[in-house]
Structure 1
Amino acid sequence: MKKKQLKLSTIIILFVCIVVLVSLVITDLLISRTINDNIESNIEEKAKIVSRTVAHSTIVKSGLEGEGNAGRIQEYTQDIQKSAEVLFVVVMDMEGIRKSHPDPDRIGKHFVGGDEKGVLQGKETLSISEGTLGQSVRAFSPVFNEGNQQIGAVAVGISLGSVEQALDMSHRNILVGSMIGIIVGVIGAVTIARYIKKILFGLEPITIAKILEERNTMLQSVHEGVVAVNKDTTISLVNKSALKIFNKAGLSSDPIGMPIKEYMPHTRLERVIATGKPELDEEQTINGVSILVNRVPLIVNDEVVGAISTFRDKTEVNQLAEQLTGVKSYAEALRAQSHEFMNKMHVILGLVKMKDYNHLNRYVKELVSLRVDEVSTVTSKVKDPALAGFIMGKLSYAREKNVALTIECHDFIPEPKNPSVTHELITVIGNLLDNSVEATANSNEKEVLLELFYQDEQFEMVVTDTGKGMADEIAEDIFVKGYSSKGEERGYGLFLVKESLRKLNGTLHVESKVGSGTTMVVQASYKEGKKGD
C-alpha cells in the first residue's frame, strides 16, 4: 500500500508547532528553575537579614542578660515578624529555651527542630526544617554581648508554603505565555504555509521533486542545446548538448554562474529579457561554429524573470539534410527505371499499332537480352539486394542521360555483417556515379566504368569517366563542404562521400587530368556477414 504523503502546509504547521512547543517547554523548565533558585535565595537572604537585625537589637541583648524586661523581647519580635512578614522570630538563650514565639504558650520551652545546635556554637546557619509552625526556611544568627560573648541566638523562619505559592504563580504566568506563543506560532505557520504554497503554484514537495527530475532528464536527453539565464543575465542552466557545442567552439565547460555577455558576447538574450519578445530561427556564430537559435523570455506572473535559448549546430542540420541524398539516390534510381520502362513501352506500343511484328520481336529480344545481361552481371556477384538493386537503378539513370555505364564485378561481393555499411556504400557509389555521369555531359564519348573488387574483407571500387577532367588544385577542394563548380546550393555530394568513408575507415584516391577524364579509387573495410547474423 502506498504511503500517504503529508501536505506541505501540514508539515510546516506541525514543524513550527513542535519547534515552538519544545522551545517554550525548555524555556519553562529553565525559567522555573531560575525563579525557584531566586526565590529561595531571596527568602534565605531575607531570613538572614531579619535574624541579624534582631540579633543586634539592644532589647534582645539586655533581655537575654537579665538587665531588661524579658517581656519586651516578645513584643519586639512580634513587631519585627509583622513588619518583615515572616513565619516566626524566635529568641533563645544558650540552652535553647525560647524567649519569644508567635504562640506565647510556647515561650520558656525548648526550641524544636534540632537545627539550632550550630548557632549555639556561634555559627550563622541556614536550614530547612519542620517545627511547631510547619516546614520553613530558617536563618540562625548568634547574639553576642558587649564583651563579644555569646548569650543566645535568634531564629527567623519563612514558611515554604509561601515559596511554593510564589513558584505556582510564576509557573502559571509562564504557561499563559507559552499558550499565547503556541497560538501565535500556529497562526504564523499557517500564514507561512499558504505563502510558500502560493509561490510554488500550489504544488506539493513530492510533485515539485518529480517535475524537477523530469525536467533534468528531458533537458539532458534532448539533442538541442539549452541555456537559461536569470533576470540579471547570469547563466543558471546548461545541458549536455549545449556544453558539447560550446566545447566545439572552444568555450569554457563550466559556464554556470557566469554573465552570459562575458561567456557569449553576441547571444542577444539581454535583448529578449528587455523586450519580452521571442526571437525564432535565427543564425548565430560562436567562434566559427554556426548555430540556429530560438530565444524566448521566461515570464512568471506577467513579469520577465529570465530567458531560455535553444539551439542546434547548423552543420549538423545541414548534414541531416545532406544525408537524405542516400534516400534521394534510391528515389532517383526508381524514377529513372520507371521513366526508361515507360519509354520502352511507348516503343512497343508504336510497333504494335504499326503491326511491325518483325521489328517488335527483335526489339523485345534485345531488351530481354540486355536486361538479362545486366541483371545477371550484378545479381550474380553482388549478394546484397539493396546494393544490387541500387546499381541496376544507376544503369537506367545513365541510359536516361545517354551515358554508357558499364558494370564489372571482378569478385564475389557478400552481404555485409553490418547493414549500415550498405547505406554508406550507396551514398559513396551514388554520388561518385552521379558526378561521373554529369562530367561526361559535354564529352563526345560519354562512357563511365564502374569496377567492383572484394578481397580479405576489403571492398574496392574504381569509377572511371571520359569527362573533361580537372586541374590538381581543384581536385584538392572537391571534398570541401559546399565547394562546387556547378553553381550555388551544390557541393555536398563528395563531402558526404568523405563522411561515409570516414565511418567505413575507407580512403579515396583521385587521378584526373584536364581533357583526359577522371578516375576515383575507393577502398573501405567490409566485413562479411556470417550465416545467421
Structure 2
Amino acid sequence: MIKLKQKWKNQRLWVKLTLMVLVTVALTVSVLYLSLTNRIYEATQTQEEEELLSIAEIVAAQPLVIQTLSDGATNLEVQAYANQITETYQLDFVVVMTMDRIRLTHPDPEKINAPFQGGDEEAALSGQETTSIAQGTLGQSLRAFVPVFNAENVEIGVVAIGIKTTTLASIAKKTMQPFSVSFAVSLLFGAAAAIFTAFQLKNQMYNLEPIEIARLLEERNAMLENTKDAIIVTDKDNRVVLSNLEAKKLFQRDEVDEAIVGMPIQSLLPVAQDLNQLVGQDKTTDRIYHQDGVDYLLSTAPITVAKKVIGQIILMRDATELYLLTDQLFNAATYTTTLQTQSHDFLNKLHVIYGLADLEEYEELNDYLGKILEPEQEFSHRMIFLVKNPVIAGFLIGERSKFTEQNYPFMIEVYPDVPPTTDHTAVQCWINIIRFLDQFILENRLADDLQIHFGFWNDRLETVYELQLEPAMKERLTEELHAPVIAQLLKRVDGQLDLESNERRIKISLKTAYRKDGK
C-alpha cells in the first residue's frame, strides 16, 4: 500500500488528471448504463407479461381448448393447435392443464398427461390471471396463467404459456444494442476529453508539476520577504495585490493600520500618479523618489502574461546605501592617493634633508624642517597614523580639502586612536551624518571658530563639534539635525546626538556604535 501511494505521488500531473477525468467519466457512464439496462429489462419483462396474458386469453377462449378440458383427455388436434401458437408467437411452451394440474399439451410429447411443475399455478386454479417466473421442466421461465371456463362459467382448467428467461434476456439485449454502442462511444469520447483537458491544464500551468509550482512559490516568497528592498506588485488598475515585509514596514506605520493590499498605489506613492501611463507599455523606468526625508531609487517594470501587460512591479531601494557606497569608494581612493603621495614626498624630503645636511646648509635645513612640520602639511600624516580605518581617514582628508578651499581651518583632535572595523554600515552612517553637518557649516560660513574632537571609547565613536552660532542659526541647525534622515541613520547605528548650547556657543556630541576588529 505504501509503495502504491508513493508511486501515485510520483506520477506526472497530466497522467493524474487523465486518470481522474477518465475514471469520473467511466463511473458516470457506467452507472447510467447499468441503470438504463435494469430499466429496459424491467420494461421488457412487463411488456412480455402483457403479451403473454393476451395470447393466453386467446388460447383460453378457443372452443377446441374448452372442449378438450371438458372431456378431460388430450387429443392430436389440441396438441397441434398448441404447437401452432408456440411457433406463431415465438413462445417456448403452451400448456393446457386440467384442474388436477395434468398437462394435456406440451412441447415435449413425453411430458403430456404428466403433472405441471412450478407451483405458481395456484392462483390461476382459483380463477385469477397471473404471471410469474418459476423453474419448470424447460428451465426458469416467465409464465402467464389464464383460467378456462365452460358455458356454465365453471372453471375447468388453466392455460399456461411462457418464454424462458434466457429468451427474455436475449430480447432485452437486442433492445440495449444501440445503447451499448453509445456507451462505447461515450467512453472513447471521455478518454479523449480527459487527455485533452489534462494537456490543456498542464499548458496553462506552464508545463510545471505541482511540486515544482510549490517550490517556485516558496522560493518567490523567500526572495520577496528576505530582500532589503521594498517590493510592491500592482494589477492593471494600479491596485496593490502583493507586497513584501519591507514594503509593509515602510507604508504600514503601526499594527492597527489597514493592510496595504488592495489600496491604490497612488495613495502610497504620490509620484505613482505618473505610473498610470506605464501600464500597457513594455519599458522599465528608474527615478529618485524622496519620502520622509529619505531618498529612494524607484524602479518600475511591467508584468507581461501572454503578451499582455497585467500590472507592474515597483522596487524601492534606499538610495542612502548607494550614496554611502559611492562615498566609501571615493574615500578609499582618497586614502590610497594620499598614501602614494606621502610615500613619494617622504623619499623626496629625505633626499632634500640629506643634501642640505651634506652641504652643511643648516639655516636652510632648519627652515625646510619648519615648513614640512606645519600642521596643514601634517594633517594627512596624522590621520593615517591615528585613524586606522582607511575609509574614515580618507573621508576626513577629503573634508579638510573642502574647508581649505574656502580658507577655513579644519583641525581635528583625535584621541584615543580609532581602530579598524569590518562594520561598514556603522562607518558609512557616521560619514553621512558628519558630511551633513560639515555641509551645513560651510554653506552658512560657520567654520571660523570650529573645534572638532574625535575618538574611540567603549566600542563607540565619539565626535564633538563646538562652534559659535547666532540664536536663529541655532534653531535652524537644531531643526536640521532632527530631520527624519538623521534619525534613520542614528537608528541604524544605535546612535545618540546631543546638543548643548549657551548664549553664543553650541556643542554637538555624536556617539555611534563601532565594533573594532576581533569583536
Normalised by the size of structure 2, how large is the TM-score? 0.71
1:504 pairs with one of 470, 474, 494: 494
Distance 1:436 1:347, change over 3 A: farther
Write the deviation string for residues 451-486 of structure 1: whole angstroms up to 9, x where unpaired: 46888888754322468886343233332659xxxx
Letter paired with 1:312: M
Are the equivalent residues in 1 in contact too, given 2:453–2:463 (CA < 8 A)?
A: yes
Distance 1:150 1:241, change over 3 A: same
RMSD after superposition: 5.4
How far apart are the structure 1 equivalents of 2:282 and 2:28? 52
1:253 aligns with 2:259: yes
1:306 pairs with one of 303, 310, 315: 310
Count of residue pairs the alignment pairs up: 505
SS in 2 for 1:253: coil
Are the equivalent residues in 2 in contact too, given 1:436–1:448 (CA < 8 A)?
A: no
Letter paired with 2:232: V
- Which residue matches 1:227? 233
Letter paired with 2:313: S
TM-superposed CA distance for 1:162, in Å, is 1.1
TM-superposed CA distance for 1:509, in Å, is 0.1
Structure 1, unmatched stretches of 5+, are 483-494
- Which residue matches 1:42? 47
- Which residue matches 1:278? 283
TM-superposed CA distance for 1:98, in Å, is 2.7
Letter paired with 2:311: A
- Which residue matches 1:153? 158
TM-superposed CA distance for 1:227, in Å, is 1.4
Structure 2, unmatched stretches of 5+, are 1-5
How far apart are the structure 1 equivalents of 2:315 and 2:424? 32
1:128 pairs with one of 116, 130, 133: 133
Letter paired with 2:91: V
- Which residue matches 1:492? none
The aligned runs of 1:58-457 (5 Å cut-off) are 60-61=65-66, 63-66=68-71, 74=79, 77-78=82-83, 80-102=85-107, 107-145=112-150, 149-169=154-174, 174-200=179-205, 203=208, 207-222=212-227, 223-230=229-236, 236-247=241-252, 253-256=259-262, 266-268=272-274, 270-274=276-280, 276-278=281-283, 280-282=285-287, 292-300=297-305, 303-312=307-316, 316-318=318-320, 320-321=322-323, 324-325=326-327, 328=330, 356-361=361-366, 363-364=368-369, 403=409, 405=411, 407=413, 409=415, 424-425=429-430, 446-451=448-453
1:19 aligns with 2:24: yes
Distance 1:329 1:307, change over 3 A: same
TM-superposed CA distance for 1:306, in Å, is 1.7
How far apart are the structure 2 equivalents of 1:235 and 1:426? 37
TM-superposed CA distance for 1:152, in Å, is 1.8
TM-superposed CA distance for 1:343, in Å, is 7.6
- Which residue matches 2:3? none
How far apart are the structure 2 equivalents of 1:385 and 1:479? 26
SS in 2 for 1:278: coil
Please, which moves more after superposition, 152-161 or 70-79?
70-79
How far apart are the structure 2 equivalents of 1:323 and 1:501? 19
- Which residue matches 1:519? 506
Letter paired with 1:91: V
Write the deviation string for residues 74-103 of structure 1: whole angstroms up to 9, x where unpaired: 565455444433222222221122334445
How far apart are the structure 1 equivalents of 2:398 and 2:279? 55
Distance 1:331 1:477, change over 3 A: farther
2:476 pairs with one of 449, 457, 474: 474
Write the deviation string for residues 493-513 of structure 1: whole angstroms up to 9, x where unpaired: xx5587337732412205376
Distance 1:221 1:394, change over 3 A: closer
Distance 1:147 1:291, change over 3 A: farther
Structure number with the higher helix fraction is: 2
How far apart are the structure 2 equivalents of 1:8 and 1:173? 36
